Amino acid sequence: WKLPEGWKKTVLDGMADRLSKYRSFKLFMDICVRCGACADKCHFFIGGGDPKNMPVLRAELLRSIYRKEFTTMGKVLGKIAGGRELTVDVIKEWFYYFFQCTECRRCSVFCPYGIDTAEVTMMGRELLGLLGIYINWVIEPVANCFRFGNHLAIQPHGMMDTLEFMVDDIEEATGIRVDLPVNKKGAEILFVTPSGDFVAAPGIYTCMAQMLMFHELGIDYTFSTYASDGGNFGLFTSHEMIKRLNAKIYAEAKRLGVKWILGGECGHMWRVMHQY
């Protein structure tokens, strides 16, 4: 691989920075006893049988470098203490295995120490990102969110057309004509749903039900074409990207002068809104 000049220092400096910034990361590096309780909880390991897809061994890919470079025992004893040198082959392993994890956190539920392996995965991806190593599946949606406001690259007029079709469908099915507030200043609530909810089934039925509910309850809300997607693909790239994408929603809430931000049904939106 053609890695940038000084790549090893870049990775180790990035790791040192994150170890000092995130106490949870350092804790997760130190407390694993490799009991294997998480091993058969990962669908990638169950499906493929690759031992390195066990959450414990996937984390060991990063933890072994931590031991070698950031612990006294690792610096002195090396492999005997479970440490290993940072090489190009290690970077290749990180790329191959950290991008197989979906960060579902199922393994964390069964860990007796509560180690969040998804967070370890995120740290591994952040370090790869420092070298410009990512996959298109997560980078393109992030770019789309910056440019279009949603990860599916739906432009404002496209979003409006879809929502108007949904209003017509609601009326055809129920006889009720619901309002369609978009970019409405002074509304009480900014409603930000995953972009899948105004693109295709079954998400559109969820969104239609929400619009009907808002109509029935008389809730003063608005959609936004600037911050139209609650799904945050920063969760699959880096903490910094999480915050940048999340900031668009808060900036739009401030611009519109709303009192509340209400999220739709989206797992990583829920985590981002609550933790970042």
The residue-averaged pLDDT of 108-134 equals: 94
pTM higher than 0.85: no
Output 67 or 148, whichever has higher pLDDT: 67
Give residue for tokens 């699959």.
236
Q: Would you state the pLDDT for residue 145?
A: 87
- pLDDT tens-digit profile of 26-39? 999 999 999 999 99
What one-character-per-residue DSSP string does the chain give?
--PPTTHHHHHHHHHHHHHHH-HHHHHHHHH-----TTGGG-HHHHHH--GGGSHHHHHHHHHHHHHHHH-HHHHHHGGGGT-----HHHHHHHHHHHTT-----HHHHH-TT---HHHHHHHHHHHHHTTT---HHHHHHHHHHHHHSSTT---HHHHHHHHHHHHHHHHHHHS------BS-TT-SEEEE--GGGGTSTTHHHHHHHHHHHHHHHT--EEB-SSS-----GGGGT-HHHHHHHHHHHHHHHHHHT-SEEEE-S-HHHHHHHHH-
Cβ-proximal residues to 145 (8 Å cutoff; 6+ apart), any chain: 151, 229, 232, 233, 245, 248
Confidence of residue 188 (pLDDT cuts 50, 70, 90): very high
Q: Would you state the pLDDT for residue 196?
A: 82
The rounded percent of the chain whose pLDDT value lies above 90 is 72
- pLDDT tens-digit profile of 12-68? 999 999 999 999 999 999 999 999 999 999 999 999 999 999 999 999 999 999 999
Confidence of residue 173 (pLDDT cuts 50, 70, 90): very high
Instruction: Return the number of other C-beta atoms located less than 10 Å from residue 260's C-beta.
Output: 11
